Amino acid sequence: MTPEMILTMIMLTFAVVLFVFEWVRVDVVGIIMMVMLPLTGLIAPKEAFVGLSSNAVCSIIAVIIIGAGLDKTGVMNQVAGPIIKLAGNSENRVIALISGTVGIISSMMQNIGAAALFMPATQRIAKRMELPVSRILMPMGFCAIIGGTVSLVGASPTILLNDLMTLGGEKLAPFGLFTQTPIGLCLLATAIVYFLVFGKYILPAAKGEADRGVTATLMDEYKALGNTFEFQVPEGFSGPQTLQELDIRSKFLVTVVAIHHVGEKGINLVPHSHNEIFGFDDIAVVGKEKNIRKMAAELGWALKDGLDTFVESLARTSAGMAETVVSPRSELIGKTMNEVNFKDLYNLNPVALFKGNRIYYTGLTQIALNMGDALLLQGPWERFHLLKNQPQPRALTFATPLEGEILRPQKAKLAIFWLGLSLLQIIFFKIQLSVALMSGALGMIITGVLSIDEAYRSVDWMTVFLLAGLIPLGMAFEKTGTAAFIATRVLGLLGHPTPIVLLTAVGIMTSCFTLFVSNVGATVLLVPLCMNMAVMAGADPRMAALVVGLSASNTFMLPTHQVNALIMRPGGYRTIDYAKAGFIMTILFLAVELTIIYFFYGVQ
């Protein structure tokens, strides 16, 4: 073992220790590697930063921007809607539907692309169903990686296999597009079942502020508020009656925030006291559950199990609450909300007024406002943004951040066009992945789907620097001969194993290598070595190559794979979370892969 090999192993161990104990953030580990490797002479200075311009990193940047464009135009809302309807209120169904969908998509396109494009939809689904996003993103990410094993073109290692399968100067019979499909589908099914059965034990479930949202926090702060409920007015209702006549707010301490009249397409999201209620109308109200049930009993209205008619319009991603304060030079000072026609002026619903040391939930529109009074408002996020973007001096100042954003649905067709153009270049014209995806991202910026600032903000730079730092580490591993040395020694220790024992060792070794070396690098290095060992052991060299190609996707225990790095920050994951969920997944992957090969691919 040469001094360069020993130094490489020291650097590798140092990186793993930093990952495990989290003394510094993972992207800082990547930057440390970029600096330390050329200083120690393991790689040339010009190779240290090659990761920042690599195909993988540039592809990730581009596909994140494309995903942000699809999200900004509301396309991902349309994707999320059917999944939510199919899943109902079941977390397990959400995990199964999202993970299965992404897994199948990634069987025909690069897994990082499938994960990045679907991540905004996954985050929206988690918000709308009030689920911790950490419980959904990791199953999605793992299944995106595994989806690459379903077809020969699903992941870079298997794409390379046919070119690498040369033995004694002769090309071996190539694998077909779906040769590995039974194995990949079994692996995907295993991963989904694994998370459905053990997810509650292995996935982090901490509900931070980002998961709960500002609206939920405000409802906790204002004690008379509880949640949003939906009623249906019965056919025999003695109406029509106006909201003022029903006097719902004063009697039951609840606020009507939406009305839908039967037979009409539109929804009234800013109900006025003069609006009439008819039989079969749907009503959305905000209040405490005991008050809601009292209201249902007295009025004879049917309380629904959850939001139905208003599931889209009042979803957390579409509408919510914000706390505002009457500004020093506000036009509202000394006036009541009735006097200024508040609802017509701002198109928002006043829910509560904090004045002095008292919170008012009824009679809000009759109280004169003073500087410093806090108004709790409810309504669509776009209307909050319009209020926030008014020129100074503004009548109201926001005391809480806004969860939602202004979407650009008029740009949805353009966003889909640029995504389609990128995929067209990749599939039919064989344009390099990073170039094709970057052209789509650039198209979105030029045509106004996203501004350039929004594109920069959408990129998770922690992911970029983590991967850019690990690429030169993998280069050092290969360049110094450390990888080849370890592989040769491990295979040499096996002596004369049976074919299945050899394939098991190959699978384990590839799974370990691919945690630190790129999956392409591990495949290029190990396929020739393992094929020769298979011939000596009397095994099929094609099966040895297939195990290497598939096992190169068995990378779950560290956030070193592009997909794992991509979901790390949005999911709030730590390295220990990957180790905890990924260790069992790694064992299951190898067990299922080798079992299917043993029984159905002629390996004895």
pLDDT at 451 over 90: yes
Q: Would the pTM of this model clear 0.75, i.e. be above it?
A: no
Please, what is the average pLDDT of the chain? 87
* pLDDT in the model for residue 208: 39
* pLDDT in the model for residue 75: 83
Determine the average pLDDT of the residues in 248-255: 91
Q: Are 586 and 600 in contact (CB under 8 A)?
A: no
DSSP category for residue 331:
T
Q: What is the pLDDT of residues 313-350, one digit of tens each?
A: 888 778 899 999 999 989 999 999 999 999 999 999 99
Determine the average pLDDT of the residues in 27-54: 91
pLDDT at 37 over 90: yes
Determine the average pLDDT of the residues in 478-489: 80
Determine the average pLDDT of the residues in 472-493: 80
Which 3 state secondary structure label does DSSP give 518?
coil
pLDDT at 206 over 70: no
Which 3 state secondary structure label does DSSP give 438?
helix
How far apart CA 275 and CA 265 sit, in angstroms, is 17
- How much of the chain exceeds pLDDT 70, in percent? 98
Domains in the chain, please, with CATH?
6-48+74-206+461-600 (no CATH), 212-303 (3.30.70.1450), 319-398 (3.30.70.1450), 409-458 (no CATH)
How far apart CA 30 and CA 467 sit, in angstroms, is 7
Q: What is the pLDDT of residues 512-525, one digit of tens each?
A: 988 877 787 778 77
Q: What is the pLDDT of residues 341-374, one digit of tens each?
A: 999 999 999 999 999 889 999 888 899 999 999 9
* pLDDT in the model for residue 604: 61
Q: What does 208-272 look like in DSSP terms, one character per residue?
A: -HHHHHHHHHHHHHSTT--EEEEEE--TT----EEHHHHTHHHHH--EEEEEE-TT-S--BSS--
pLDDT at 411 over 80: yes
Q: What is the pLDDT of residues 415-436, one digit of tens each?
A: 999 989 988 888 788 788 789 8
Query: CA distances (Å), 273 to each of 146, 190, 248, 259, 270, in order?
Result: 56, 56, 10, 12, 10
Query: Residue 212 — very low, low, confident or very high, per pLDDT cuts 50/70/90?
Result: low
Q: Which residues pair with 166 in a beta bridge?
A: 171
Class of residue 242 by CB neighbours under 10 A (exposed 0-12, middle 13-18, buried 19+) = middle
DSSP category for residue 363:
S
How far apart CA 295 and CA 93 sit, in angstroms, is 33
Q: Where are the alpha helices (DSSP H) in 148-208?
A: 156-164, 181-202
* pLDDT in the model for residue 197: 93
Determine the average pLDDT of the residues in 269-290: 92
pLDDT at 124 over 70: yes
* pLDDT in the model for residue 207: 46
Q: Which residues pair with 259 in a beta bridge?
A: 268, 283
* pLDDT in the model for residue 390: 86
* pLDDT in the model for residue 114: 81
Provide the token pair at 341.
């026609």
pLDDT at 153 over 50: yes
Comparison of pLDDT for 304 and 211, the residue scoring more:
304
Determine the average pLDDT of the residues in 253-268: 90
* pLDDT in the model for residue 301: 93
Determine the average pLDDT of the residues in 277-286: 93
Determine the average pLDDT of the residues in 475-492: 80
Comparison of pLDDT for 460 and 443, the residue scoring more:
443
Query: CA distances (Å), 434 to each of 222, 314, 454, 552, in order?
Result: 49, 38, 20, 21
CA atoms within 13 A on the CB side of 188: 29
Comparison of pLDDT for 533 and 415, the residue scoring more:
415
Query: Residue 209 — very low, low, confident or very high, per pLDDT cuts 50/70/90?
Result: very low
